[in-house]
Structure 1
Amino acid sequence: MPELPEVEVTRLSFAARITGAHIVSMRMGKPLRWPLGLEPQALVSCQVTGVRRRGKYLLVDLETGLLLIHLGMSGSLNFSETQGSPGPHDHMDLVTTQGILRLHDPRRFGAVVWAPSEQSPQAFKLLGHLGVEPLGAGFDLAAFQAGLKRRNSPIKQVLLAGDVVVGVGNIYASEALFLSGIRPTTKAAKLTKPRVAKLHQAVREVLALAVAKGGSSLRDFVSAEGKNGYFQLEAAVYGRAGLACRVCTTPIKQILQGQRSTFFCPVCQKY
């Protein structure tokens, strides 16, 4: 699944190019996770005023309302001056005066939803439960500590839940926990303040590095320019079960948490 860095890389790869464009037409293919919420032709002539991100959602701001786009499990966006004929897995073409934004989603777990505003019920249903943005100024250490103190679940599960801090998905949770020396099975409420401070900084560092590396292309992720990401080549633990830890040479262990694979070093992550 594209995680926060992949979604941010996608945003950066087309936001400037589509901003200021006017919508010429919109084609929706097979039904996605949720309906668009209005007739596509109602968006014709609307101007795109910007593209933001909230967690794993892209927010395409329009003169009237906004489009909330989620890439689901395997979706990707491509923005180009021209596009070929849509294939069976191309479920949206947003044709603008500056190019065509196409959603490709083989598994159809993604979504394109129109909302009249970010405060509307349609948007609040999707965004209202999300925690603070880890790369923004609002990612406050004291608030992060307080949020973890209220949770008795394993720290890896708390990070994935997204209500304390949003967007720290499976890959980057494993990496941030390694960098901060925290075992993924440790209860969140049991973490000391110094450990939480290390984790707070590690989350920022790991996500920022992943964005700089273009995200992780483990399966089929590419940016809206068709470029692969390279963070996976530098992963310390994720996907490295049985291989030597890059720090202490101990074999990396793999366990299941909530039906998701977790990777950690049993020596470097003691606490």
Structure 2
Amino acid sequence: MATNTLPPLGQVSARRTTVFLKILMALSGALFVFYVLMHMYGNLKILGGTQGFDEYALHLRTLLTPILPFGGFLWLFRALLVVALAAHAWAAFTLWARANGARTTRYVAKAAARATVKSRMMRWGGVAILLFLVWHLIQFTIVKVNVNGSVPAARIGESAGALVVASFQVWWMVLIYLLALVALGMHLYHGVYSAAQTLGWTNTGSARATAKTTGLAVALVTAVGFAVPPLAILFGIVKGS
């Protein structure tokens, strides 16, 4: 006698939603990986001096002009990043809440107790990165906060490079930045592998090893690349003009 072994419709729907959320996290995360690599490359321009950095910043604002107004490309790209960030955070916290809610059963509770440290660090590291990103935007884009009292405000207002140099001449600003880079590096390392896993690119042992190596390479290149400019400024290798 045939029996119905299909899972309940609610379970199928929940699984599909979980897959969708993971794919959404993977795709939005891929956009951020592209962004941080490009942003890291741009930050390295400061090693050539504030004038070169200012020229690079001006070039970003003139992209696709006169089709777009001055700075139009940057604002469109920022809007895309905000949408991607909202989608990434929504998917992450939804999955997080779902995982916590599933711990009501004994089996899942035991599985949750064996959760690795890296998954928890991904969650809280993401929160730390989000908080740092808000401060970073306020300091360098929205308000342009001058934390270095020895640099005139007028100079900060007229030069993006001067603001960068003035900020990282302050030791505690560099410390905050480096701590954020630790969180970012760990998030990228595990995130790249998780994205590859979600997209079905880790079905073999060699593919898993490649995904882990790629994640490690992206994390190290990004963290080191972002760390070089503030450290060079702090130790006087790069000075404001």
Q: TM class by shorter-chain length?
A: under 0.3
Q: Which has the larger Rg?
A: 2
Larger relative CO (CA 8 A, sep 6+): 1 or 2? 2
Greater fraction helix: 2
TM-score where L is the length of structure 2: 0.28
Greater fraction strand: 1
